[in-house]
Amino acid sequence: MNVAPRARMNRNDEVIVTFPDADRELSNRVSIVGVGNSDFAFDYETARSRKAEPVHNMADQLALTSFERALADSGLTRRDIDAVGFSYFVKDYSAFTPELASDALGLRPRHAEMTMPIMMGVVPQAVAMLARKDVDTFALIYSAPMRSIRRAFGGDTESYGPPSYYYYHPWGWSSQGAHWALKAQRYLSQYGYAERDLGVVATTLRDNAGRSDFAIMQDPITIEDYLSSRYVVKPLHLLDMCLVSDASVCLILKRTEESAGLRTIPVRVSGWGRAETHKEMFKHMVVKALREEYQEAGRQALDMAGLDIAEIRHFEGYDAASIHLINQIEGYGFAAPGEALSMWADGHMKYGGGLGVSTSGGMMSEAYTQGWGQVLEAVRQLRHEAGARQVLDLAASMTSLSTPDGAYPLVFTRGDA
Amino acid sequence: MTSSNRRPNRTLGGVHDRFWELCQRQRLFLQRCSSCAQFQWPPEEACEKCGHDRLEWTEVSGRGTLASWCTFVQKYYDALEVPYDTVLVALEEGPLFISNPAGFTNDEARLGDVVEVEFVAASDDAGEFFLPVFARVASQT
């Protein structure tokens, strides 16, 4: 079995991830032919009500559900899966090996490896291997019992990663939420929006989640509910933040030429991009809203796909927080700087508007999947299987993983178009 | 003198110790690259911009403008009672500095307000130290 580490740390403890650059030769060569996910809502309630420590192999358990569903969705069998990427988030990696994880799923792949837990470079890397015919059928599996292992996302427990995760403890500044809060305050002040104006993101995503069978948060909310939800880091409320939930998502990929005749409409991986800055993070993240990185990465992805942004009518952004989603919508060029919130209020990004955004509720209302749920939803939308939330006649979608300082979009198209 | 201004622990060791030693003078020093002249904060072993490892601790004006701010309402630290305010200051020399406001609150803050560093006595597990915070000297309103 071949185990290839892909991530390494640089001298600032930043994780350096390598994956293929955008390349027109790789556009549409590979398709997603099967998808599956764990029971987000049921598992959320289970994690909340659990009294004892969770079982040690929770990631394996979650993954089994999403994997078997993806397999059934594709019509393939375990014997067909000859490559697996494990994007697992576990408390203790010393006990994790791709061999054991394969075994837990009943698989005997030729190639198995640990991949990035977040949706960064995982699909491009698999596409490159499939296109080279190193392997024939790739299962990519995200599994993260994030709620059960009680990750805090801030405070004294954060002692590694980029400086913004630990350096500012003496001033009491910490947490992922605080990154987003600085962005939000700057944006609201700069463009003259009131705090309540940001609430349209939370209310819309909740409405979208009400149209998804799997979503954790399905009850509609009003702007008043939004404003009365507690602050986490002001100006951001609880309802501006993504959920923390246990989740697994599985994607099965094959070469497009071998995807015809399977039971699903193939969804082609058409493009991707990458732009990031590990320097002067606050300047790029807060002051410049990562605009240059979104512009560059979006251009790469659209060029590779041979599409214009006007042809993208469905966008799944990385909604770690409402403001981060707004920055992406404007950064990629779906709206001019400062205009996304007013366009949203006018209905452009709501169900039935010109641009479907996070149509199954995103990480703020459906489930916390570190970007994997976005790809899952793109596949369902492009297959026209999204039911009550379907973007009509959709042919091309963009998803976006975005860290505080990086942009990693993917472009997908419907395979029979 | 013991400070009752208890704070979560600083990052110490290597270049970080020097930053806090210089804060004892109640003047603000940042690393400046002797090759490309870029100022940077937090301290690093090498220049963020050009990678050069000759960095010189250089006193800065201590003045800047408010680039953003946020208020912690959820409690992340045992040592700190919520709510409390934090600010992001764009220093005249370039770096963005995370700090706390002194003598004003975030409710009064406006983008571009001019602020200036001052130092308050504080303590953590490693002992007493002076913490740089920022007072407002001119408002945009």
The C-alpha of A193 sits at a distance from chain B's nearest C-alpha, in angstroms, of: 13
Say whether B80 and A172 touch across the interface (CB within 8 A): yes
State how beta strands A396-403 and A314-316 pair. parallel
Closest Cβ opposite residue B98 in set A173, A232, A235: A173
- Please give the residue range of the domain that contains residue B101: 15-136
What region does A28 belong to: left with phi over 0, alpha with psi -120 to 50, or beta? Answer: left
Please tell me the predicted confidence (pLDDT) of residue A160.
59
Say whether A182 and B84 touch across the interface (CB within 8 A): no
Closest Cβ opposite residue B131 in set A167, A170, A183: A170
Domain boundaries, chain A: 2-151+244-258, 173-242+269-417
List CB contacts (< 8 A) between A175 and chain B: 74, 76
Closest Cβ opposite residue B73 in set A233, A283, A287: A233
Please tell me the predicted confidence (pLDDT) of residue A2.
38
Query: Can you list the positions of beta strands (E) in A81-148?
Result: 83-88, 111-114, 137-145
Examine residue B2 and state whether it is found in any structural domain, yes or no: no
Where chain B has pLDDT below 50, the residues are: 1-2
Examine residue B87 and state whether it is found in any structural domain, yes or no: yes
Class of domain A2-151+244-258: alpha beta
Please tell me the predicted confidence (pLDDT) of residue A10.
46
Asked if A155 reaches chain B (Cβ–Cβ under 8 Å), the answer is yes
The C-alpha of A235 sits at a distance from chain B's nearest C-alpha, in angstroms, of: 7
Q: A173-242+269-417 has which fold?
A: Peroxisomal Thiolase; Chain A, domain 1 (3.40.47)
CA count, 13 A, side-chain hemisphere, A92: 6
pTM exceeds 0.90 = yes
The C-alpha of B110 sits at a distance from chain A's nearest C-alpha, in angstroms, of: 8
Say whether A280 and B96 touch across the interface (CB within 8 A): yes
What's the DSSP call for residue B119?
E
User: Coil, strand or helix: which one is B131?
Assistant: strand
Among B residues 47-106, those touching chain A with beta carbons less than 8 Å apart: 48-49, 67-74, 76-78, 80, 83-84, 86, 88, 90, 95-96, 98-100, 106
Say whether B83 and A286 touch across the interface (CB within 8 A): no
Instruction: State the Cα–Cα distance between residues A290 and A118, nearest whole angstrom.
Output: 19
CB pairs under 8 A between A and B: 117
Number of structural domains (chain B) is 1
Same topology between domain A2-151+244-258 and domain A173-242+269-417 = yes
Where chain A has pLDDT below 70, the residues are: 1-16, 151-153, 157-161, 417
Asked if B110 reaches chain A (Cβ–Cβ under 8 Å), the answer is yes
List CB contacts (< 8 A) between A181 and chain B: 70
Are B127 and B101 contacting, i.e. CB atoms less than 8 angstroms apart?
A: no
Among A residues 227-286, those touching chain B with beta carbons less than 8 Å apart: 230-236, 279-280, 282-283, 286
Examine residue B44 and state whether it is found in any structural domain, yes or no: yes
Asked if A192 reaches chain B (Cβ–Cβ under 8 Å), the answer is no
Are B18 and B57 contacting, i.e. CB atoms less than 8 angstroms apart?
A: yes
What angle do helix axes A199-209 and A322-332 make, rounded to 10 degrees? Answer: 90
Mutate to test the interface with B, among A10, A11, A157, A171 (most CBs of B within 10 A): A171
Please tell me the predicted confidence (pLDDT) of residue A91.
78
Are A143 and A70 contacting, i.e. CB atoms less than 8 angstroms apart?
A: no
